Amino acid sequence: MFRGKSPDSQVGFTLVELMITVVIVAILMAFAAPGFRDLLERNRLQSTSSNVYASLMFARSEALKRNQWVVICKRNAGGTACDTGTVDGKWEEGWLVFAGGTPAVPNEILNVREALSAGDTLRVVDDPNDTPEKLNILTYGTDGSPSSEAVFVLCNSDADTSTAREVLVELTGRPRRLESTGNCAP
């Protein structure tokens, strides 16, 4: 004699149970999605500021290692030379690290960084006493010191200063990453 469920009985969820589960999941996602979006955005900006920092450290270490100057500059449209045509400090199109040559014709390109994503901006903060070239080019000398101080400000497409990041280059040459509450105005 067979005890228990018959082999023909069905096991599973009813349509009502499934709908209630879907509604609960949708409500939980509605609360979690904005926080998750902010987390992704903060991580993306942190990653980009790490890329700027790493490029600056790389340029400095290459200048020391090679015993020659190394340049980091904003890229031109072709990506093979520095952008010397527009002196605006807007680095969101990417940057180059090179040794030797000139900004228009670099001898040896050591590193190329692509354009930023999602409408993010990367700007060199302008000091009225600086030369315009400082906004596009930073040169590390053979002793690892930069040609000038620089502040790179990274902002999201909303210009939200609460998520902004800064990379500061002092005259010692070593960059520092900071969470910025600075100005994200273009």
Q: What is the pLDDT along the chain (186 residues), one digit of tens a residue?
A: 555 566 666 677 788 989 999 999 988 888 877 777 778 888 888 889 999 999 999 999 999 999 999 999 998 877 788 887 777 888 988 999 999 888 888 888 999 999 888 788 898 886 656 666 778 889 999 999 998 888 999 988 887 787 889 999 998 889 999 887 677 765
- Asked whether 67 and 99 are in contact (CB, 8 A), the reply is no
The pLDDT assigned to 135 comes to 82
- Asked whether 164 and 153 are in contact (CB, 8 A), the reply is yes
Residue 95 CA to residue 97 CA, distance in Å, equals 7
Tell me the CB-side half-sphere exposure of residue 143, using CA atoms within 13 A: 5
What DSSP letter does each residue of 63-74 carry, written as one string? Answer: HHHHTS-EEEEE
Rg of the chain on CA atoms, in Å: 26
Structure tokens at 12: 């599973």
Q: Where do the H-state alpha helices sit in 67-96?
A: none
The pLDDT assigned to 8 comes to 63
Q: Which CATH class is domain 15-179?
A: alpha beta
| Burial letters 131-152, b for 16+ CB under 10 A, else e | eebbbbbbbbbeebbbbebbbb
Q: Which residues pair with 111 in a beta bridge?
A: 97
Name the residue among 151, 156, 181 with its Cα closest to residue 169.
151
Residue 94 CA to residue 19 CA, distance in Å, equals 48
Name the residue among 60, 31, 34, 12 with its Cα closest to residue 167.
60
- Asked whether 72 and 59 are in contact (CB, 8 A), the reply is yes
The pLDDT assigned to 29 comes to 81
Name the residue among 62, 58, 55 with its Cα closest to residue 142.
62
- Asked whether 183 and 161 are in contact (CB, 8 A), the reply is yes
